[in-house]
Amino acid sequence: MIKKFIVAGIQLSFTEQPKENLKKTISWVKKAAKQGANVICLPELYRSQYFCQKEDSKTFDLAETIPGVSTNVFQKIAKENKVSIAVPIFEKRTAGVYHNSLVMIDADGKILGTYRKMHIPDDPAYYEKYYFTPGDLGFKTFKTKFGKIGTLICWDQWFPEGARLTTLQGASVLFYPTAIGWHPSEIERFGEAQRDSWITIQRSHAIANGVYVCSVNRTGFEQPVKEQAGIQFWGSSFICDPQGVILAKASTDKEEIIMAEINLDHLENIRRNWPFLRDRRIDAYNDLTKRFLD
Residue 221 pLDDT: 97
Residue 230's alpha-carbon distances to 206, 222, 252, in angstroms, are 31, 6, 16
pTM: predicted TM-score of the whole model, two decimal places: 0.97
pLDDT at 1 over 90: no
pLDDT at 288 over 80: yes
Residue 136 pLDDT: 98
Work out the pLDDT band at 227, boundaries 50, 70, 90: confident
* Segment 165-221, tens digit of pLDDT: 999 999 999 999 999 999 999 999 999 999 999 999 999 999 999 999 999 999 999
By annotation, the residues acting in catalysis are 44, 117, 154
Work out the pLDDT band at 222, boundaries 50, 70, 90: very high
Q: Where are the chain's structural domains?
A: 4-280
CATH code of domain 4-280: 3.60.110.10
* Segment 12-60, tens digit of pLDDT: 999 999 999 999 999 999 999 999 999 999 999 999 999 999 999 999 9
- What is the pairing mode between strands 4-11 and 39-41? parallel
